[in-house]
Amino acid sequence: MTRVASWNVNSIKARLPHLLDWLKTSEPDIVCLQEIKCLAEDFPALELKGLGYHVEAVGQRSYNGVALLSREPPSDIRRALPGSEGDDQARYIEASFGKLRVASIYLPNGNPVESDKYPYKLAWMKRLATHARALLESEQPIVLAGDYNVCPTDDDVYDPESWREDALCKEESRAAFRILPNLGYVDAFRAFHAEPHRYTFWDYQAGRWHRDEGLRIDHLMLSPQAADCLEACEIDKAPRGKDKASDHTPIWCAIGAPRVAAVY
DNA sequence: ATGGTAGCCTTGCTA
C-alpha cells in the first residue's frame, strides 16, 4: 500500500516545522508540495532527508515552486510540462516510484480574469490535458496531484454565486478541468465522498477558516490503473487549524497492491 | 465596513 499526499505549503521555509510534524504523524510514502517559494538549491532538503525522504524540487525565487518527497528514490524525473519552452514558472514536476508515476502540479490561479493571467491559465491547462492523455498510453498507475486552482462544481465552493466569475470557478476553467475525468482520470476524493462543502483551502482573510468558508481546489487525479487500486482518500484538516498555518491543508490517498489484471 | 491576512523581497506583487 502506497500513500500519496498533496499539500500547498505556501512557503516551505515558513512551513517546515508543520511539514515535519505532519510527516512524522501521517507517514506518507510520497508527498507532492506546491508553492515552496524558493530556489531548488535553497530547499531545506537535509531536514527532510533526516526523516527518510528523498527530495526533488523545481523552484524559483519568491513565487510558485513544486517538489516531490518520497521514501523510494525517484526515477525518470520530468521538470516541466511538454511545450513549456520559454515559460520559466516553476509549476510541474513528475517522477516514477517503482511502477507508480506521480506529478506535483501548481496550476496557475488565473485572476484577474481580465488580465493575461487567465488565458495563461487556460493554455497551461491545455498543455496539462495533452500530457495527461499521453501518459495514459503507458497503462500504468498515475497520480496527478496538486493545487489545480479549480473548483470542479458549485458543491466545492462555500458561496458559488459570489465566485461564479472568478478564475477558479468560471465555466471555461471547469470545462478545461473536466478534460481529465473525460479522459478517464478519477477524482480520488469524490470516489469516496459525495457530500458537498468539503474543502482543502480557506483564505486567510475575513475569518474564512473559522466560518468553514473554503474551496476544494487541491485534487488527486488517478489514472484508471491507479483508481482500480484506490483504497481511501481523505482531507486532513488538522494542519490548517494550527498557528502559522498554510491556507491549504493536505489531501492524501491510499493505493493498494495491484489486483489481478484484466484478461481478454 | 469596499476592508481583511500571509509570505516573499521587487516595502508591491501574488494569492
pLDDT in tens, chain A (264 residues): 999 999 999 999 999 999 999 999 999 999 999 999 999 999 999 999 999 999 999 999 999 999 999 999 999 999 999 999 999 999 999 999 999 999 999 999 999 999 999 999 999 999 999 999 999 999 999 999 999 999 999 999 999 999 999 999 999 999 999 999 999 999 999 999 999 999 999 999 999 999 999 999 999 999 999 999 999 999 999 999 999 999 999 999 999 998 777 777
Q: What DSSP character marks residue A40? A: G
d(CA A222, CA A187): 7
Which nucleotide's C1' is closest to A115 (Cα)? B14
Strand B nucleotides where any atom sits below 7 Å of a protein CB:
4-10, 12, 14-15
| Residue A61 Cβ < 7 Å to strand B | yes
Q: Which of residues 109-148 of A touch strand B (CB under 7 A)?
A: 109, 111, 117
User: Is residue A31 within 8 Å of residue A68, measured between CB atoms?
Assistant: yes
Structurally, at CATH architecture level, domain A2-255 sits in: 4-Layer Sandwich (3.60)
Show the CA angle centred on residue A63, arms to residues A61 and A69, nearest 5°.
85
d(CA A188, CA A190): 6
The pLDDT value recorded for residue A198 is 98
| Residue A192 Cβ < 7 Å to strand B | no
| Residue A244 Cβ < 7 Å to strand B | yes
Distance A135 CA to B12 C1' (A): 40
| Residue A162 Cβ < 7 Å to strand B | no
Report residue A246 as a C-alpha cell.
Answer: 498554510
The pLDDT value recorded for residue A258 is 82
Q: What are phi and psi of A127, to 5 degrees?
A: -65, -40
| Residue A62 Cβ < 7 Å to strand B | yes
d(CA A53, CA A158): 36
- The domain spans of chain A are 2-255
| Residue A211 Cβ < 7 Å to strand B | no
Q: What DSSP character marks residue A113? A: T
d(CA A141, CA A259): 12
Which nucleotide's C1' is closest to A108 (Cα)? B15
Distance A218 CA to B14 C1' (A): 18
Distance A243 CA to B5 C1' (A): 13
Distance A136 CA to B7 C1' (A): 37
SS3 A69: strand
Concatenating the DSSP letter of every residue in A195-250 gives -S---SB--SGGGTTTTT--B--EEEEE-HHHHTTEEEEEE--GGGGSTT--SB--
| Residue A14 Cβ < 7 Å to strand B | yes
Look at the pTM and tell me if it is higher than 0.85: yes
| Residue A26 Cβ < 7 Å to strand B | no
| Residue A104 Cβ < 7 Å to strand B | no
